[in-house]
Amino acid sequence: MTLSPTTVRTPIATAFAALSPRGLPFRLTAFDGSGAGPTDADIRVHLANERGLSYVVTAPGDLGMARAYVAGDLEVRGVHPGDPYPLMRAVSGSFDAVSPSPAALLRLVNQVGWGHLKPPPPPPQEHLPRWRRSLEGLRHTRGRDAVAIQRHYDVSNEFCERVLGPSMTYTCAVFPDADATLEQAQQAKYDLVARKLGLRPGMRLLDVGCGWGGMVRHAVREYGVQAIGATLSAQQASWAQRAIEREGLGGRAEVRRCDYRDVAETGFDAISSIGLTEHIGLRAYPAYFRFLRDRLRPGGRLLNHCITRHDNAMTSTGAFIDRYVFPDGELTGSGRIISAMQDNGLEVRHEENLREHYALTLARWCANLVEHWDECVADAGIGTARVWGMYMAGSRLAFERNKIQLHQVLASRTDAVGVSGFDLRPDW
């Protein structure tokens, strides 16, 4: 679509500034030469062309802004694209364009011109919208889950090594203190999980959604267990199996590329699920926890570690996260997770919220992306690198503001006479 600037009726920056009754927290300029907001602002946002304007007008909120930003039509200066956290923090709570009223949208379209209501094709990084994906079959089938996981996790192992660091761990770390390194904090997380599970030499561990095998290798190396990991990502499985052989853990550790539902073995002493529950769907919770319970021996333990909501309401993850980051992902509160565990044969023994630790983890990942920006762009492309920076910085802010949380819930398959496998005092 090509429109001449004469189709714009009101200066573009002026029209958008009207959506922020408290004033813009940054300097906004546009391709028509207009500007709004403080002229001395450290952060400057430039709407570079008419395609970007159409993105923003036709998909108000985070999706339109994301499309324009990922495509390069919305330029941000004064913050690094690998960590736009300062911009998101400034915008949060002060810029109403993320959720404008219908009346405000009508005024905006009237000001900038109705010709911009034809949406341009979205950037190639965007996944199909949920309503169109639903036409391809029911959500959370095995095939569809595999596609959704590979969409994000198979960006490339080299890209992930640069962002996640040597541990190749893409879940919340646990920081002994704020000055701990990311590697120290990830090892502390794995150790906390191992202690909660009561791992001992000779035990059998199943790690579902195992990623690059960090928990599997830690448990085998540090606690002397036999461990199996399962992941739907081909790149994760191949990287993890190479790491197992490199560390001399072959024969005691294994990572399979498979759906967790394809694990046939039973009688495990412990199961860890670290960052998987977000992907399985709320309706699948009963079957999920029954499946894991049935893989445990009586007295065996399950540790479920996942991102949660701050309440138990049914809330969408948002269009940006659903289309650019975690297709089909669903979040709920810890209460619903605990209820699902209790209703499906598991005795909940302990839970804790680690949301501040995830904010610190995301800050470290963003710092890694900034440090290795050029290599990451060369590997995955500028659009994908922008997606990662945007979603990690936004997630950091959400954890800090208690919009989302990170809960670990520990449970056991208590036997018929009440034996849970726990002592009178926690052993972690």
pLDDT band at 319 (very low <50, low <70, confident <90, very high): confident
Residue 139 is assigned to a structural domain of this protein: no
- The span from the first CA to the last CA of the chain, in angstroms, equals 61
**Residue 365 included in any domain:** yes
Residue 106 is predicted with a pLDDT of 66
For residue 150, what pLDDT is reported? 55
Which of 2-6, 99-103, 169-173, 408-412 has the lowest average pLDDT?
2-6
**Residue 136 has what pLDDT?**
46
* One domain for residues 233 and 308: yes
Query: Is 424 inside a domain boundary?
Result: no
Q: Which of 74, 100, 117 corresponds to the end of one domain?
A: 117
For residue 96, the model assigns a pLDDT of: 42
Q: 360, 184, 168: which is closest to 246 by C-alpha?
A: 168
pLDDT band at 129 (very low <50, low <70, confident <90, very high): low
pLDDT one-digit tens code per residue, 327-380:
888 999 999 999 999 999 999 999 999 999 999 999 999 999 999 999 999 999
126 domain-assigned: no
Going by their DSSP bridges, the two strands 253-257 and 268-274 should be labelled as unpaired
Note the pLDDT of residue 2: 45
Same domain, 56 and 150: no
DSSP labels, 144-157: HHHHHHHHHHTS-H
155 and 107 within one domain: no
Task: Check residues 181 and 106 and name the one with the higher pLDDT.
Answer: 181
In this structure, the answer to whether residues 154 and 56 fall within a common structural domain is: no
Assign residue 365 the CATH number of its domain.
3.40.50.150
Co-location of 203 and 246 in the same domain: yes
The alpha carbon of 407 is separated from its chain's Cα centroid by a whole number of angstroms, namely 14
**CA 158 to the chain's CA centroid:** 19
Q: Which of 117, 137, 164 is the last residue of a domain?
A: 117
Answer yes or no: do 96 and 153 share one domain: no
> Is pLDDT of 115 > 60?
yes
152 and 100 in a common domain: no
Same domain? 237 vs 370: yes
The tens digit of pLDDT for each residue in 144-163 reads 555 555 555 568 999 999 99
Indicate the number of domains in the chain.
2
417 burial (CB, 10 Å; 0-12 / 13-18 / 19+) is exposed
279 and 229 inside one domain: yes
- Look up residue 130 and give its two tokens: 């949920």
The two beta strands, 226-231 and 74-77, are unpaired
| pLDDT in the model for residue 268 | 98
**Ramachandran bin of 213, using left for φ above 0, alpha for ψ from -120 to 50, beta for the remaining angles:** left
The pLDDT of residue 427 is: 78
Range of the domain at 371: 146-412
**CA dist., res. 203 & res. 3, Å (int):** 67
Query: What pLDDT score does 247 carry?
Result: 97
Angle at 101 between CA 98 and CA 105, to 5 degrees: 85
pLDDT of residue 97: 43
> Which residues lie below 8 Å from residue 319, measured CB to CB, with a gap of 6+?
59, 61, 62, 63, 66, 129
Q: Is 136 within the bounds of a domain?
A: no
- How confident is the model at residue 22, as a pLDDT? 79
| Residue 15 predicted with pLDDT over 90 | no
pLDDT at 12: 87
pLDDT: which is higher, 119 or 249: 249
Give residue-wise pLDDT tens across range 56-93.
888 867 888 999 999 999 999 999 999 999 999 988 85
Report DSSP letters for 276-307, one per residue: -HHHH-GGGHHHHHHHHHHHEEEEEEEEEEEE
On whether the pTM is more than 0.85, the answer is yes
Q: Are residues 253 and 400 in the same domain?
A: yes
List Cβ<8 Å contacts ≥24 apart for 101-105. 104/18, 104/19, 105/60
Q: Does residue 109 fall inside a structural domain?
A: yes
Question: Same domain for 78 and 159?
Answer: no
**Are residue 228 and residue 357 in the same domain, yes or no?**
yes
Identify whether the C-beta of residue 140 lies closer than 8 Å to the C-beta of residue 283: yes
Q: What percent of the chain has pLDDT over 90?
A: 70
**What average pLDDT does the chain have?**
89
Tens of pLDDT, residues 262-274: 999 999 999 999 9
Of the three residues 117, 136, 161, the one that is the final residue of a domain is 117
